[in-house]
Amino acid sequence: MSLIAILGAVETGLLFGLVALGVFISFRILDFPDLTVDGSLPLGAATAATLIVAGIDPYLATLAAMAAGAAAGLVTALLNVRLGILHLLASILTMISLHSINLRVMGKPNQALLGEATVFSPFEGLGLPFYWLTPLCLLLLLALVVWLVNRFLTSEIGLGMRATGANPRMAAAQGISTGRMKMLGIALSNALVGLAGALFAQIQGGADITMGVGVIVVGLAAVILGEAVLSTRTILLAAIGCVIGSILYRLAVAFALNAGFLGLQAQDLKLITAVLVVIAMSLPGLRRRWHGRRSNR
Amino acid sequence: MIEVEDLCVTFNVGSAIETRALRKLQLTIPAGQFVTVIGSNGAGKSTLLNVIAGEIRCDSGRILIDGRDVTHWSTARRSALVARVFQDPMAGSCENLTLEENLALASSRGARRGLGPAVNRDRHDEFQQRLAQLGLGLDNRLNDRMGLLSGGQRQAVSLVMATLNPMKILLLDEHTAALDPKTAAFVMELTERIVQDLSLTTMMVTHSMRQALDHGHRTLMLHEGRVVLDVEGDERRRMKVEDLLHMFEQVRGVALDDDKLLFG
């Protein structure tokens, strides 16, 4: 595998590290299985791409993409908290609505960004080749986001959010408005995914209506891989684990696709991801059953 | 002070299993009084506590805490006035958070939560001091996960959590029922100490008649959603467990007679 291919995998891994952090907040912190991300990633991409093409500053466009993601997350949380719709179903409803909304945002199924200035443009003068530049920028951004996520989740409000996911009855008894915490958390989670979508569009050179399919599974795979390689004792370790898990996942996929003897092709990616997640999620249970059977003998 | 007026709660309204858990229940508890509550299963003890805490909304009636009408307040809003220890040691804390984080959660009860770090030097020292008072050696385990503690230790920490911040009333829902006798005695002694030191208005639901008479100032017996016995002072001091048991059976007998009248 060439250096450029490895750096490319790291770049995508870092980018989806943002998704993994979002999924970590919804699935792990709030215990809220949120599938909105399949819609909020393309929403972020579509918003940023459309605004940039319209001549808006790429940084402002990226911020707008984050706000759009947050709004999508807020809708899901409101459907659940205020209308009492099951969390999973609420997120699926938002996800399919976003398909229509994303088409409306772009006015067509895709929006190219060829030759437009992006958030990475100001750094191009530094003399680094592009395959080094983007991963480095993303690495710095991810370091900042991980720090912010950790700082937030260890704050008083963040601790209230963790209690909301871990023991909602106790949280309410301690004066935490669990409904508001869900709204804030799911909005934050999808803001991160919106940011990922905006950057993805700017790296890839455009937004596409189908780019969100299966994003939730990729994010979940990264979170689970991160938990496998790093301890989850502290929030900081767990957050770093999300990013590392995401990079490892991309590297594993790149190696699998590169290994010709396996006969795998790019279109098998989603199947591989799903199988990986199934294995990772069932392993602890299977291992326990196996040990139980052996000790019974 | 707690004032409960004409409190009615009905579960499963309109279905075959409709249950009237509280029927126009009346109760006034003056500030600083420690009340024990007994009653058979389904008498409405837990429902009463849950209604006061805000977890269950009443169908009609009013709840006043220190003169403030809290009938339509959410649990979270009421938490500034109401602190609570649950029966299940797992229910009152988060097992995946550390002792320090659990205590930090509780020490923001009734206060505005901000973006400042939840645990800091000042709080750390305060928590350490409060845990040291328990005499369980927990003061050096602030960074341990709550899940590593035994049921008794968790209930003791829950009591500390409940009393970290000022409150108007303390609700104890059979908080020693899940513990072994020795630990239960320790937690009960601790409860007595804390309630006395802070002269808290307290309601303790219990299954043990012994506990109901030995602790507090006043004892209530609930039956079918009403207060059927209310004793304090000399009358209560003279009362023995056998008397209480006798009354308990009498009340249930009366209920049986009622049914006979209905169906006979």
Tell me, yes or no, whether A280 lies in a domain.
no
Tell me, yes or no, whether A68 lies in a domain.
yes
Range of the domain at A133: 3-266
User: Could you tell me if B237 and B244 are in contact, meaning their C-beta atoms sit under 8 angstroms apart?
Assistant: no
Q: Residues A207-231: what's their mean pLDDT?
A: 91
Non-local CB neighbours of A33 within 8 Å, separated by 6+ positions: A26, A27, A87, A88, A91
pLDDT per residue over B47-79, tens digit each? 999 999 999 999 999 999 999 999 999 999 999
- Secondary structure of residue B188 in the 3-state scheme: helix
Calpha distance A59→A50 (Å, rounded):
13
pLDDT per residue over B221-243, tens digit each? 998 888 989 999 988 988 888 88
Calpha distance A54→A49 (Å, rounded):
9
**Cβ separation A173–B108 shorter than 8 A:** no
The pLDDT of residue A128: 83
Q: Residues A134-154: what's their mean pLDDT?
A: 97
Two tokens, residue A19: 């998704």
Q: Residues B193-213: what's their mean pLDDT?
A: 91
Min Cα–Cα distance to chain A from B145, Å: 9
User: Could you tell me if A94 and A187 are in contact, meaning their C-beta atoms sit under 8 angstroms apart?
Assistant: no
ipTM value, please give it: 0.87
SS3 readout for chain A: CCHHHHHHHHHHHHHHHHHHHHHHHHHHHCCCCCCCHHHHHHHHHHHHHHHHHCCCCHHHHHHHHHHHHHHHHHHHHHHHHCCCCCHHHHHHHHHHHHHHHHHHHHCCCEEECCCCCCCCHHHHHHCCCHHHHHHHHHHHHHHHHHHHHHHHHCEHHHHHHHHHHHCHHHHHHCCCCHHHHHHHHHHHHHHHHHHHHHHHHHHHCEEECCCCCCHHHHHHHHHHHHHHHCCCCCHHHHHHHHHHHHHHHHHHHHHHHHCHHHCCCHHHHHHHHHHHHHHHHHHHHHHHHHHHHHHHC
The pLDDT of residue A294: 62
Residue B135 pLDDT level (bands cut at 50, 70, 90): confident
CA distances from B103 to A178, B120, B142, B183 (A): 18, 12, 9, 21
Q: Which residues of B touch A166 (CB under 8 A)?
A: 94-97
Nearest to A175 among B80, B97, B104 (CB): B80
The pLDDT of residue B261: 46
Tokens 């004032």 -> residue: B3
pLDDT per residue over A41-72, tens digit each? 999 999 999 999 999 999 999 999 999 999 99
First to last CA, chain B: 44
**Cβ separation B75–A172 shorter than 8 A:** yes
Calpha distance B236→A87 (Å, rounded):
51
pLDDT at A24 over 90: yes
The pLDDT of residue B262: 47
Residue A281 pLDDT level (bands cut at 50, 70, 90): confident
Tell me, yes or no, whether A291 lies in a domain.
no
* Rounded (10°) CA dihedral B45, B51, B56, B62: 130
Nearest to A211 by CA among A270, A141, A135, A254: A270
Q: Which residues of A touch B144 (CB under 8 A)?
A: none
CATH number at residue A145: 1.10.3470
Residue A233 pLDDT level (bands cut at 50, 70, 90): confident
Min Cα–Cα distance to chain A from B111, Å: 8
Domain count, chain A: 1
**Cβ separation A163–B91 shorter than 8 A:** no
Q: Which residues of A touch B92 (CB under 8 A)?
A: 170, 173
Q: Residues B123-131: what's their mean pLDDT?
A: 93
**Cβ separation A174–B105 shorter than 8 A:** yes
For residue A114, count CB atoms less than 10 angstroms from its CB and return exposed for 0-12, middle for 13-18, buried for 19 or more. exposed
Least confident stretch, A13-17, A77-81, A132-136:
A132-136
Tell me, yes or no, whether A119 lies in a domain.
yes
Min Cα–Cα distance to chain B from A210, Å: 37
CA distances from A43 to A7, A25, A38 (A): 26, 19, 9
Min Cα–Cα distance to chain B from A23, Å: 19
Q: Residues A201-221: what's their mean pLDDT?
A: 93
Q: Residues B30-56: what's their mean pLDDT?
A: 92
pLDDT per residue over A180-197, tens digit each? 999 999 999 999 999 999
Residue B36 amino acid letter:
T
Q: Which residues of B touch A156 (CB under 8 A)?
A: 104, 108, 113-118
pTM: 0.90
Tokens 């092709």 -> residue: A265
**Cβ separation A158–B118 shorter than 8 A:** yes
Q: Residues A208-217: what's their mean pLDDT?
A: 93
Cβ–Cβ contacts within 10 Å for residue B235, how many? 10
CA angle (B193, B195, B198) in 5-degree steps: 100
Q: Where are the domains of chain B?
A: 2-232
Q: What is the DSSP letter of B217?
A: S
Domain B2-232 sits in CATH 3.40.50.300? yes
Please list, residue by residue across B213-227, b when 16 or more beta carbons sit within 10 angstroms of its beta carbon and e when fewer do.
Answer: bebbebbbbbbbbbb
The pLDDT of residue A265: 80
**Cβ separation B96–A166 shorter than 8 A:** yes
Tell me, yes or no, whether A290 lies in a domain.
no
Cβ–Cβ contacts within 10 Å for residue B256, how many? 10
- Secondary structure of residue B71 in the 3-state scheme: coil
Q: Is the dihedral of CA B147, B149, B155, B161 positive or negative?
A: negative
